[in-house]
Amino acid sequence: MTLLEPLPDLEEIRALNPDGTELLGSRCDSCGSGFFPRRQLCFECGADALRDVELGHRGVLYSYSRVELSSARPTPYTLGYVDLDNGVRVLADISVPEDLLVPDLPVALTTDPAGKWSFAPAVNPAEETDEN
């Protein structure tokens, strides 16, 4: 029996810019709908006039589920929907201690040294300034 290997993180889903790491997605020029991952066809209006856009790195946790059984990757892990500040909803790994998981939790994109990305509790920008 061969177990499926987890999909590698794709470099095109992240961008490094002066503000940090962001997700890359698509926005439809016809109806304005946003998507992640990037698409070539709009799921809302069927147009093919989509352009790549940076989706930002902050949002709120809409919902989540803890996965206890998987043939594709080590368990347990948490998946959740994050509503980004620009209105795009993303399904992503959630790196939040279980006792802190609540809907509407402010989260921010984070990466580990291996380049794997997930969302973790957002740090208050004022606290970031105080530490620097």
Confidence (pTM) = 0.78
124 band by pLDDT with thresholds 50, 70 and 90: low
DSSP secondary structure letters along the chain: --PPPPPPPPGGGEEEETTEEEEEEEEETTT--EESS--SS-TTT----EEEEE--SEEEEEEEEEE---SSS-S-EEEEEEEETTS-EEEEEB---GGG--TT-EEEEEE-TT--EEEEEPPPHHHHHHH-
Q: Write the CA distances from 94 to 49, 101, 108, integer angstroms.
A: 32, 9, 10
pLDDT tens, 57-79?
Answer: 899 999 999 999 999 899 999 99
**Total residues belonging to the chain:** 132
Residue 40 tokens, joined: 């070539």
